Chains A and B, each alone.
Chain A
Amino acid sequence: GAVVSQHPSWVICKSGTSVKIECRSLDFQATTMFWYRQFPKQSLMLMATSNEGSKATYEQGVEKDKFLINHASLTLSTLTVTSAHPEDSSFYICSALTRGGNYGYTFGSGTRLTVV
């Protein structure tokens, strides 16, 4: 089946530094990828929609200059958390829509970011 590879799985960084998270679709082309944030014991919150070859679409309240998204190819989308602060600590997950009979979304394994 369709696989979305996300890494790193976890990262600890210092306040003020930047962290890049990568998501790759391994066996299919993903023209659109979605980036979510999940706080402990809470639901998935859509941050932005990443479109190959064009600018990402950000949800209301998400700072585009802080959460930089790049979708340079049909198989790779990246999220860079710039000048990270402790409140950015969270679980970040990407997903891509997989074509086929079920039209479900395939999620990456997620990245747990801790900013100290």
Chain B
Amino acid sequence: GQQVMQIPQYQHVQEGEDFTTYCNSSTTLSNIQWYKQRPGGHPVFLIQLVKSGEVKKQKRLTFQFGEAKKNSSLHITATQTTDVGTYFCAGRLRSQGNLIFGKGTKLSVKP
């Protein structure tokens, strides 16, 4: 079935270093969403990207949607310990279709 591949599975960084997680789909997506799940918590919606080549920023977080709408990335500049958690991308094939979640990237930040 349709899959959304996400890499890396784990990332350990020193506080202050940058972090990037990538998502790839074999087919074109209608849109892609990003979620953050803190340890022991539930996923919290971060953002949705819809347009080809779209770039959105939230403070130190930069989200990109590829030109072909098959890949996306989340980049965190100068990580902080509060950034710890698992970041999931979730893609939709159709505008109102179900979300297909990537496996997530678990970020740990060493102070």
User: Which A residues lie at the B interface, using CB under 8 A?
Assistant: 34, 41-46, 49, 60, 93, 95, 102-110
Residues of B within 8 A of A106 (CB): 45
Minimum C-beta distance from B36 to chain A (A): 11
Minimum C-beta distance from B42 to chain A (A): 4
Cβ of B42 and Cβ of A110 under 8 Å apart? yes
How many residues of B are counted as interface, with CB atoms below 8 angstroms from the partner's CB atoms?
19
Dominant SS at the B interface? strand
Known: A104-B33, A105-B33. A44 touches B101 (CB 8 A): yes
Known: A34-B98, A104-B33, A105-B99. A44 touches B48 (CB 8 A): no
Residues of A within 8 A of B33 (CB): 104-105
Partner of A102, one of B41, B45, B100, B104: B45
What are 29 contact pairs spanning A and B, CB under 8 A? A34-B98, A34-B99, A41-B106, A43-B88, A43-B101, A44-B101, A45-B101, A46-B98, A46-B99, A46-B101, A49-B98, A93-B42, A93-B43, A95-B43, A102-B45, A102-B47, A103-B48, A104-B33, A104-B46, A104-B47, A104-B48, A105-B43, A107-B42, A107-B43, A107-B44, A107-B45, A108-B42, A109-B42, A110-B42
Known: A107-B42, A108-B42. A42 touches B47 (CB 8 A): no
